Amino acid sequence: MTSPSTIPVLDLGGLLLVSIQGELPDESAIALQEDVTAAVANTGSRGLIIDISTLDVVDSFLARVLAEVAASSRLLAARTVLVGMRPSVAITLVELGLTLPGMDTARTVTEAAASFGVTIEQADRTGRGTP
């Protein structure tokens, strides 16, 4: 058993949102996989959104973890959408030979949520919700 990851898994009412922040050591990536899969099962969510917009590197290890999270979530009847991949990361992953065929992608969390029929209200730049 690995120690729990420090990455919060947010429940947005039927959708789970995971925002991966900064550098992710291998052990945390494996812990994340266990945490997220457990959260999918416990909440009965049909959707999992993984936001990787802060990541400046995704290597084959992390790509495999992401693909396995998506595969195990699919077995638990949840669809995974990967959000916010940087263009430089996309180019590098393709050249590395990793195109993550089992994962849906979206540009933003809002767009990903919309693909599940969930509307997320846009906060304006001051952080307040729109009136």
Partner 1 sequence: MSQAEREPIRVPIRKDTDLTAVRQHVRALAQRTGFGLVQQTKLVTAASELARNTLLHGGGGAAEISVVHGSTGPGLSVSFVDSGPGIPDVELALSDGYSTAGGLGMGLSGSKRLVQEFAIESVPDGGTRVTVISWADPYSARQGLR
Q: 45 or 80, CB closer to partner 1?
A: 80
At 73, phi and psi to the nearest 5? -65, -40
Site for partner 1 in 51-70 (CB under 8 A): 56-61, 63-64
**Those residues with Cβ within 8 angstroms of residue 49's Cβ, 6 or more apart along the chain or in another chain:** 15, 16, 17, 18, 80, 81, 83, 106, 109, 112, 113
Euclidean distance between CA atoms 65 and 115, whole angstroms: 23
Q: How far is the CB of 98 from partner 1 (least distance, A)?
A: 6
List the one residue from 1, 75, 97, 131 that touches partner 1 (CB under 8 A). Answer: 97
Residue number, 39 or 63, with CB nearest to partner 1 = 63
Among 92, 105, 108, 110, binds partner 1 (CB under 8 A): 92
Using CB under 8 A as the criterion, what x/- string covers residues 1-40 for binding partner 1?
Answer: ----------------------x-xxx-------------
Q: Name the minimum Å distance from CB 12 to partner 1.
A: 30
DSSP 14: S
Stretch (H or E) spanning 17: strand 15-19
| Selected binder of partner 1 within 12, 76, 98, 120 (CB under 8 A) | 98
Q: What is the DSSP string of 71-110?
A: HHHHHTT-EEEEE---HHHHHHHHHHT---TT-EEESSHH
Q: Residue 42 Cβ, how far from partner 1 at the closest point, in Å?
A: 28
